[in-house]
Amino acid sequence: MRILIVGNGGREHALLWKLRRDAPAASFFATQPNGGMVSDCEHLEIEATDVDSLSSWARSNQIDLTIVGPEAPLAAGIVDHFEKVGLPIFGPHAKAARIESSKAYSKELMRNAGIPTAEHRTFTDLSTAEAWILRQGAPIVVKASGLAAGKGAVVCTTEQEALSAVRSMLGDFIFGEAGREVVIEEFLEGEELSVFALTDGEHSVILQPSQDHKRVGEGDTGPNTGGMGAYAPVSIATPELMAEVGSKIIQPTLRALAEDGSPFQGLLYAGLIKTESGLQVIEFNCRFGDPETQVVLPLMQDSLLDLIATVAEGGRLQPGVAAARPDVAVTTVVASGGYPSSYEKSKEVTIPRQLESENCIVFHAGTMRREGQLLTSGGRVLAVTALAPSISEAAEASADAAGQIEFEGAFHRSDIGWREQLRQD
């Protein structure tokens, strides 16, 4: 089997790691693979968003299955292009991908379908948005409607912060086209949960729920990032709660998308929050989350490849929950100094040879290899996943391993999974 992975971050490295275990004899290809992926796949020098070139290459090279990691190619219609030339591909069509590529669309879809989510308003005019913020007060959340690499949501504790955020988007256009429309919504208090649902458009297989840590600083302080770490399983995700996720969120969303002429086949990511008034949807994504994938897949016992291939080939899934090993996984992101703001690249990375084992996996995200050296190439450089029988053991092992990785400016949070540890103490 010849499998193409589109994308080259930590999520894609985790997908490659899992799929190679599902299909050891398969041949893997990846678009511009990072420094950790290069030894396990063949390098394809085509941008992930160059959908025309990718579909032509895949057809010429007899690719049996393509799996799309990032959201940008999905929003650009890569699935539509591949299907036109008869190539099996895993991911939603561009219209269905709007559930992530347009927060305004996603919020209206949820409102119309009665799916629980924060009250919101959408704006394209700065003065109108400013006036609404002043009427509503703080705390409040300001989001760029389009794709902003995980940095488009600003949780504002004061009106001044909210005004500054909306001015930077609608006035200074810091996110370009992605921020020319903004969603401003009420602040929700509670604990977050990430749920992955592999779906054929009607039926779903739910993977192990996880919890992401978005804030850059210890104790969940500082600005939002693409994610500084994650852990799974999460004790608040009881069987009763997960039944509610399926019946009140996943299935109604799939029905709403189908009724809107945008049936969703692929991986639907539900970013949820458990509030005093019940579950609410913070956001939907149209692909695997990062860094949640780096804890969900190492725990997964079922074949991911079988599920993905079924969807990509137009088959039907057997609804249920994917089997997971009875351990805890914690991943700690090692980031470049200055992230999520400006940071320097091309710093030499040193990973101790004895660091990786069956229960400690280093997933590369922002790395590259040049003249025999491993160098940084992004803000989130590595994600170090440890597996252990308990949250405290896994968290300690992950943080300890992250601390052994060296490059100039490297930093990481040492408290991933802190809420879960408090519950277990």
Spatial separation of the C-alpha atoms in residues 412 and 242, rounded to whole Å:
31
The confidence band for 179, taking pLDDT boundaries of 50, 70 and 90, is confident
Whether domain 125-180 has CATH 1.10.1780.10: no
Spatial separation of the C-alpha atoms in residues 141 and 143, rounded to whole Å:
7
| CATH of the structural domain 328-424, one choice from 3.40.50.300, 3.90.600.10, 1.10.300.10, 1.25.40.340 | 3.90.600.10
Residue in the structure block whose two tokens are 């996984």: 329
Task: Write the pLDDT tens digit of every residue in 369-384.
Answer: 999 899 999 999 999 9
Spatial separation of the C-alpha atoms in residues 281 and 122, rounded to whole Å:
17
Evaluated on CA atoms 187, 190, 192, 193, the torsion sign reads negative
CB-based contact 219:418 (threshold 8 Å)? yes
Task: Write the pLDDT tens digit of every residue in 67-88.
Answer: 999 999 999 999 999 999 999 9
Enter the CATH code of domain 191-321: 3.30.470.20
Q: Across the chain, what does the average pLDDT equal?
A: 95
% of the chain residues with pLDDT over 70: 100
pTM: 0.95
Lowest average pLDDT, out of 99-108, 149-158, 248-257, goes to 149-158
Cis preceding linkage at 389, omega within 30: no
Instruction: Name the DSSP letter for residue 246.
Output: I
Cis preceding linkage at 233, omega within 30: yes
**Domain parsing of the chain, residue ranges:** 2-91, 125-180, 191-321, 328-424
Q: Does the pLDDT of residue 153 top 90, yes or no?
A: no
Predicted confidence at residue 152, as pLDDT, reads: 83
Q: What is the mean pLDDT of residues 282-304?
A: 97
Predicted confidence at residue 149, as pLDDT, reads: 73
Q: Does the pLDDT of residue 235 top 90, yes or no?
A: yes
| CATH of the structural domain 2-91, one choice from 3.40.50.720, 3.40.50.20, 2.60.120.260, 3.30.450.40 | 3.40.50.20
